[in-house]
A and B are shown apart, each in its own frame.
Chain A
Amino acid sequence: MGDSPLTLAEYKNHGGTEGLRAALKLAPHDVTTLVKNAGLRGRGGAGFPTGVKWSLVPMGETAPKQKYIVANGDEMEPGTFKDRLLLERDAQQFIEGMIIGGYAIQASVGYVFLRNEYFAAAENLRRNIAEWYAAGLLGDNILGSGFKFDLYLHTSAGRYICGEETALISSLEGKRAIPRAKPPFPAQSGLFGKPTVVNNIETISNVPHLLHYGADWFRSISKSKDAGTKLFGASGMVRKPGTWELPMGTPARELLEVHAGGMRDGLKLKAWLPGGASTDFLLPSHLDLPMDFDSIGKAGSRMGTGQMIVLDDQTSLLGMVRNLEKFFAQESCGWCTPCRDGLPWTVKLLDRLIAGQGRPGDLELLTQQTKLLGPGRTFCAHAPGAMEPLQSALKYFRSEFEAGIEQQKVAA
């Protein structure tokens, strides 16, 4: 990637629009099958197979006429900035991917739901969309195929919960950004009640290449069972924080020690979150794990966005967990009770422990909350995500929590 954003002409010189041309020669259903066969999994964090998601959309004569494809660019996961880079530097492949996705599910309209603060990305995207319209690659009868596709950019008002696909849809409809009950899934009743697919920006950006070079090629560039490449990243007290496109399955140690240049002088790795704030802590002993969905899952965490956050031995673990929980408490949409009222309580307990004024029972309370705010108990995955760093911190570093209990209270 150069310093300035890629233009459409430059993009074309590098094989741009070839994927679209290939897709339009296929039946929509075959595009979906190809994506399914390629093994592309969602890059937003959950890793749901993209082709499967597309295949859930009703097709054919009986399907609703209006369908939508929505790109989730509400990248608000702490420590994650991969979609921003994609849209700031190379939005061309993303636009191409959106048209292909729209074609596959026969959606004539696409929306990009972009994080409020991504001004540069928004500017570049607007410019690029205009280029594509000017070149006749968006709008009516794209490349003479008869397929019509319009793409709109919507910049968010700025809520973490908008990254949850159904809350994103609510927000896009102009309603409160509150997640929706599933079923019905968006593929059946999504944006404005119509069948809708929501994909992450990075996921969509993979699609043109996969169409251009084929499913086998896509699987071949990975080091693991999960196909393709991935934007991995590292932040925290490393020498060179950043984001890099690497084969899926690249070992975490390579990320940290080679690409991020290792820990800064005098600091040692204490723990790391593999893919954003809503993933469980892993230890230095997990560094040789390949970064893919299954391997990280087996170790008791989630790969999430693949953007690792590194905790060194000089930074307060409790402080970090507390910052994360404060973020999650603030970003709760306020819909369901455990999340809305439980997270602020968690923060207050952590504050008290940090101040050394914890009371006997606080750890048990925190441990109980990791269950009460866990999967199945809340309306959406927000609070369960928030509990991941807390529960793993309690598991690996319980003594640091215990140290926050006021000794007088214990004696009493």
Chain B
Amino acid sequence: MADEIRAEMVANVWKVIKSAGDAVAEGDTLVILESMKMEIPVLAETDGTVIEIAVNEGDVVQEGDLIAVVE
């Protein structure tokens, strides 16, 4: 089952850690956002494989934007 991970707030994509095809475990950091004086890791919510990372470093994401898909 594909798990779509979306941004919870407006943020700057500071680091992209994982790539499509990577195997991940629940809790692994996929992407790190920077916003509002905080560093916000975006975590895999299930074990699986990264199908897509939908952002690049330096992108701005809006609340609800797709960040990654894990299956």
Chains A and B belong together in one complex: no
List residues of chain A with CB under 8 Å of any chain B CB.
Answer: none
Q: Please report B residues at the A interface, Cβ cutoff 8 Å.
A: none
